[in-house]
Amino acid sequence: MTILTEMRSILRRHRPTDGIHPCALPRVSLVRSSEPSHPMPVVYEPSLCLAVSGRKRVLLGDASFIYDSAQFLVVSVDLPVSGMVVDASVDDPYLCLKLDLDVAVLGELLLAHDARVPRSDHAPSIAVGDTDAGLLDAALRLLRLLDAPDDIAALAPLAEREILYRLLTGPQGAMLRHIATADTRLHQVSRAVTWIKDHYAGTLSIDHLAGLAGMSPSSFHEHFKKVTRFSPLQYRTRLRLLEARRLMVSDAMDAASAGFQVGYDSPSQFNRDYSRAFGLPPLRDAARLRAAPEFGLSA
């Protein structure tokens, strides 16, 4: 049995229905889709998406990233993207292991193995890399622990650490170096991103965000857009709309209440922004999503 065949078998057994769900492994989610999906706007957090069957496309601005069993996707900062499964069927579903990146462990590994980690003055916030045998082997040992839950506490951190080590010392290592090092532009921008995520319903001050990032306002605006493909205001608006969408679909909240909950004072402005972002008025879009199997399928 090949590594990929065994990984597919484990994922099929532990993720028997479509969707994305956490599992007994810390920071790991299992993803399955039995059919292609429409583009779904979501926020990708810093993570590794390791597909073992099927294919997915992620759009960030005008850039497209496609990954399957031969390539992984890695994200280094919270990004509002659109994701769609492009290759999947009932007999051969899209199956993916999503691992949220532990920045503390990345930092420890960087200190211990600095000479082996690539360097670059400019690192992307999202990238696709080739999946090699070493990375797959470590991921398989992590997944096998789902069938040995008593061993998870002792052995999962070791397999996870090896996965992060292989990412750090591989071609995408420079990108991960930037999120594990406090004085890089990517790390500085990520501090502002975290603040916006925690305060998206309130007012936004570019001067305050620039201070958090340790930059001048003009430099901050330039680097924020380079990392996220959004201006800070556009980024906050997208977070507001995504949360309002979730409230309407998952909590059956009406459009006016959802808009107010996420920080809009004007229902008409909320409706305009929502329709521009998602292509339909809020209530019509929410009704469509309730029937869509891919809602919430974000990895």
Q: What is the rounded average pLDDT of the residues 104-124?
A: 89
Per-residue pLDDT tens digits for 38-75: 888 889 999 999 999 999 999 998 899 999 999 999 99
Q: What pLDDT score was predicted for residue 297?
A: 56
295 has a pLDDT exceeding 70:
no
Per-residue pLDDT tens digits for 149-190: 999 999 999 999 999 999 999 999 999 888 888 678 888 899
The pTM score is 0.88
Q: Which domains does the chain have, with CATH numbers?
A: 3-180 (2.60.120), 185-229 (1.10.10), 234-290 (1.10.10)
Q: Which residues are bridge partners to 128 per DSSP?
A: 73
